[in-house]
A and B are shown apart, each in its own frame.
Chain A
Amino acid sequence: MIHSQEKSSVLSQGVFIFVYLAVLTALEFLVAISFNSVPLLVVVALIKAALVVYYYMHIYKLSLESEIDEHSYDYKASTNRLGLWLFLVSDSFVFGGLMVMRINLLGLTRPELNQLLGLAVTAVLLISSFFMNRGETLMHQGDRRGFLLNTAITFVLGLGFLLGVVLVEWRLAIHEGMTPDSGPAGAAFFMMTGMHAFHVFTGLILLAIIMANGRRGLYDEQNYPIEAAAVYWHFVDVVWIFFYPALYLIGRLA
């Protein structure tokens, strides 16, 4: 059983990481609106991604030794962990392709979008990631109520992001005359946000599932599904860490 101060230290780590991410995001925004240096923006995005991948997605767990018995839960869990990461690698090629498409079609110009709104939705997704991580850690520490509460918050924020993009952002863009068929900017914007929104949507379904099963009282010992849902959720966040500057920050207005 874990000692209490260890518990709190694990939790506070999550908080620290979140603070870093928030600061970096703000920095990113300022750089963009002031002297808009693309290399700098890229570097910041990479750092943010690295933080999430290591501290929130626990990529290092891939290298952990598991039990040898093929039928033990631990063994299967780490096999599934590998499977999930392989899937994410594969999936990231889709987003990579979309990024290539955006760079090829738009170059160093960006679509005409409301940068503040962009910052807002980004913040929402970032905060949701924080609560996701918190919920996961709490469940590992056997605090079911905490887990359910934080996951619920994550779900609400995620939903907020989804609606923010689809209802507010898209409406606005179309209203401003940037319809999907208006040109490369519109095409890139709707395709990229659309594909990402779809992943957020699937993430929400996973969250719903683990919450439902959590309420049913599962996951006391065998709680890999929670980790899986969390990792997937953070992955969607990582994707946005790159899409956000690509769509809202980099370059001059088209």
Chain B
Amino acid sequence: MRKTNPVRSGLLLLVIGGAVGYGIGLGIDLLISGNLNLAGSVPSAFALLLSVTAFFFGLYGYRGITRGLVWQVVGTLLGAFFITGIRALTGSSNIFGSFFFSEPAWVFGALVGVVSFIFGVGAVDDWMKWARGIDTPEHHEDEPGWEKYFYVSLDHKVIGVQYTVTALFLIVVGGSFALIFRTELAASQLQFLTTTFRLFNQTGPQFYNTLMSLHGIMMIISILLGVSGIMNYVVPMIIGAQDMAFPRLNAFAYWVAVPASVLFLMSLVLGGFDTGWTGYPPLSARAPVGMQMFFLAVFTAGWSSILGSLNVIATIVRMRAKGMIAMRLPIFVWASIATSIIALTATQLIGLSFQLVMFQRLFGLGFFDASKGGNPVLFQHLFWFYSHPAVYVFVLPGLGVISELLPVFVRKPLYGYRWIAMSSLGIALVGFTVWAHHMFTSGMNEYLRVPFMYSTLLVAVPTGVKFFSWVATIWGGKIETPTPMLFVLGAIFVFLIGGLTGPPNAAIALDLHLHDTYWIVGHFHDTIFGGFVFPFFAAIYYWYPKATGRRMNEFWGKVHFWMMIPSFLVLTFGMMRIGLLGMRRRIVDYDPALGFDTTHLIMTIAAFLIGLSVLIFFINFFRSLKHGEEATGNVWNSRSPEWQVPSPMPVHNYEVPFEVVGEPYDYGLEGSKYVEFASPAEVPHLHPPSPAEVESIK
């Protein structure tokens, strides 16, 4: 395998692969439809699949992720041709569809593709062995250097990084989509997404809907991956475990997310889908094939989230260090438990609801088809039963990060530890009972509305406990504000605004005005940024030294923050303002008479500034890998165990186990300690081989 600058050869092959794929697609398209359609879907679909694959081939050679992608491409084509063949044999009327393959062919192909990827990348090798009664070593040692991030590693730290980077990648893609459609929104009337515009068989307005929907869902998936990223990297480390409870399941959970991301991109080229991320039928029952790719992608990514959280719970229950009783858990662990409970259970319902629409499309099962006695509103209940609790999946870890970092930077104990810990569980549990607040205008049974208003408003109470406790923690502290702390404070500020804009939506009559306006869009960008994006950046700046042994550049970190927060506030305040005045969601064009043009223009500029700040973050992130200042010690002077050992973290975390001897956040208490490491003499064996057999059910 060439070691000479892999990135360059990767990019080179990216271009070549894209061109070749495009050519092939064009040829096939020409053969089938007879006319040459340069902006058609088939060429782009092939270009996409081949270029991505080729890139990783150049970067990495034919192994790990490359092998997975190749297998996915082949699997997809085989599966599609299989169905196409069957249709041909059974002499069905339309063997091919408007996107070369027929819809069932695409769906089956995509499914086979995902499974092939899993096998190709090697995420199930060991399980296959166990099934055949063959033992495998408990751990496979990873090769040093960056390569290990591109194949199946069982090390929770590697997997954590893989999750995080994938999440950042999706944020870039989804964010860039946002920038594109924000440019369209900068002024009323259609700028470039006009009715004569054609791309991937979509007119301008259709393409807007696709971009907007993909922006929504890709950002949400990126959050879920980011959440898994932090939890994977941090949780085992701070509870003193060597790894997650089920390392193979952990790897599996990550690797299913990769083909899912590919499916998202495929949905873009296969006609897109114009339903928003909520995919309500009947609209989603009529959308192009892209809809099915979207359903499959979410379904697959959903499994990643389910299995990941299962693993987190098992790890926390079973693998805590000696003496780490419930009330001495690091607060982030409590947040992780609460998050995982939601992700483990509720996620099944979004999978199911999408599955039902898929079957309605494929086999005509009329669940949500009124003309067949189905019920469109039922879908909304199933969907929101997940998708509301999901919003707390986004924020709980973020709020956990806030609570985890605050004491370190104010040098003061976390105020009301128990209350904060319990409030996470409270939010999670109450969060299960509020879903119908998204459906106040949906025409659901009248008597449901008021109870759901009560339950919804109740969530404000535990959330409030967090806020008040944070303020009390900051109060009278000795506050330092390095970059991570800046992002923590920004998170509190932004999430407060987001949170406070929640209760108005819960007040039913008022929501009749607010529903499906940019006010809501503003509400959730604030909650999501405050509850996830800012804490996520804080976490990255904070634990970066732990992972790399270097610090990210402080100056550029501050630039990132001071550029991001004002432009972000401008963006969302603009959203809320025009929303209240009558700006509907999900519209490609707005009535000039409303006079929103200036506001929209400003919002678009703000959006690009956010993008720029993220760009700065990325440059800083990658530059610091080589040039960041050395930081192998306890950079933030924290009490938490992971900082008591040198950075970067050793492969099996702690060579010698530690015991919890005190409270986690006793800053300012003379001579108090949280953890105490056993002297190496007392350690019997570090990690002897033992039958991995036992995991064979997983």
Contacts and interface: CB of A to CB of B under 8 A. Distances in A.
Interface of A: 70-73, 75-80, 82-84, 86-87, 89-91, 93-94, 97-98, 100-101, 104-105, 180-184, 186-187, 190-191, 206, 209, 212-213, 216, 218, 222, 224-225, 228-229, 232
Interface of B: 131-133, 242, 245-246, 249, 306, 310-311, 313-314, 317-319, 344-349, 351-353, 356, 359-360, 363-367, 372-375, 378, 381-382, 385, 687-688, 690-691, 693-698
A222 B694 contact: yes
Contacts of B318: 75, 78-79, 82
A156 to B, nearest CB: 21
Contacts of B133: 212-213, 216, 218
Given A93-B346, A187-B365, A232-B697, 6 more contacts: A71-B688, A97-B353, A105-B367, A181-B366, A212-B132, A218-B133
A97 B349 contact: yes
Contacts of B693: 218, 222, 225
B374 to A, nearest CB: 6
B356 A80 contact: no
Contacts of B359: 191
A94 B348 contact: yes
A86 B245 CA distance: 13
Contacts of B348: 90-91, 93-94, 97
Contact of A87 (B310, B364, B378, B385): B310
B344 A82 contact: no
B524 to A, nearest CB: 25
Contacts of A187: 360, 365-367, 372, 374
Given A82-B314, A82-B318, A105-B375, A76 B694 contact: yes
Contacts of A184: 366-367, 372-374
A104 B375 contact: yes
For the complex of A and B, 5 pairs with smallest distance between CB atoms: A181-B364, A228-B697, A187-B365, A93-B348, A76-B694
B695 A80 contact: yes
A90 B345 contact: yes
B366 A83 contact: no
28 contacts: A70-B319, A76-B690, A77-B694, A80-B694, A83-B310, A83-B311, A83-B698, A84-B697, A86-B313, A89-B345, A90-B310, A93-B346, A93-B349, A97-B385, A104-B381, A105-B374, A180-B364, A180-B365, A181-B372, A182-B372, A183-B373, A186-B365, A187-B360, A212-B132, A224-B694, A225-B693, A228-B696, A232-B697
Contacts of A190: 365
A76 B695 contact: yes
Nearest to B322: A68
A97 B382 contact: yes
Q: Which of A76, A212, A213 has the most CB of B within 10 A?
A: A76
Q: Which of A80, A82, A209, A222 has the most CB of B within 10 A?
A: A80
Contacts of A182: 372
Contact of A86 (B310, B373, B375): B310
A173 to B, nearest CB: 13
B304 to A, nearest CB: 13
Contact of A73 (B249, B349, B353, B691): B691
A105 B370 CA distance: 11
B378 A71 contact: no
B378 A225 contact: no
Nearest to A208: B131
A75 B696 CA distance: 14
A76 B691 CA distance: 9
B310 to A, nearest CB: 5
Q: Which of B319, B347, B695 has the most CB of A within 10 A?
A: B695
B478 to A, nearest CB: 40
A25 to B, nearest CB: 28
Q: Which of B306, B378, B696 has the most CB of A within 10 A?
A: B696
A45 to B, nearest CB: 21
Contact of A80 (B353, B366, B385, B698): B698
A181 B378 CA distance: 18
Nearest to A229: B697
A86 B365 contact: no
Given A76-B695, A82-B317, A101 B378 contact: yes
Contact of A183 (B346, B353, B372): B372
Contacts of B687: 71
B374 A73 contact: no
A34 B425 CA distance: 46
A216 B348 CA distance: 37
A183 B697 contact: no
Contacts of B374: 105, 184, 187
Contacts of A101: 356, 367, 378, 382
A51 to B, nearest CB: 24
B515 to A, nearest CB: 23
Q: Which of A72, A79, A84, A216 has the most CB of B within 10 A?
A: A79
Nearest to A205: B131
A65 to B, nearest CB: 12
Contact of A180 (B351, B363, B691): B363
A126 B300 CA distance: 33
A209 B131 contact: yes
A97 B350 CA distance: 10
Contacts of A91: 348
A93 B347 CA distance: 9
A82 B313 CA distance: 9
A140 B345 CA distance: 32
A148 B345 CA distance: 35
Contacts of A79: 245-246, 314, 318-319
A67 to B, nearest CB: 12
Given A105-B367, A212-B133, A89 B344 contact: yes
Contacts of B347: 90
A77 B349 CA distance: 30
A212 B231 CA distance: 38
Contact of B382 (A77, A100, A180, A222): A100
Contacts of B306: 90
Contacts of A87: 310
B691 A222 contact: yes
A70 to B, nearest CB: 7
A93 B341 CA distance: 12
Contacts of B311: 83
A95 B361 CA distance: 21
B690 A73 contact: yes
Contacts of B375: 104-105
Contacts of A77: 694
A221 B245 CA distance: 22
B344 A86 contact: yes
Contacts of B381: 100, 104
A77 B695 CA distance: 8
A87 B378 CA distance: 26
Contacts of A71: 687-688, 690
B382 to A, nearest CB: 6
B245 A83 contact: yes
A84 B364 CA distance: 35
A222 B690 CA distance: 12
A225 B135 CA distance: 13
A33 B375 CA distance: 29
Contacts of A181: 363-366, 372
Nearest to B135: A218
Nearest to A98: B352
A213 to B, nearest CB: 4
Nearest to A74: B694
Contacts of B378: 101, 104-105
B319 to A, nearest CB: 7
Contact of B352 (A84, A97, A183, A212): A97
A186 B369 CA distance: 13
Given A101-B356, A180-B365, A90 B344 contact: yes
A83 to B, nearest CB: 5
A212 B132 CA distance: 8
A225 B345 contact: no
Contacts of A98: 352
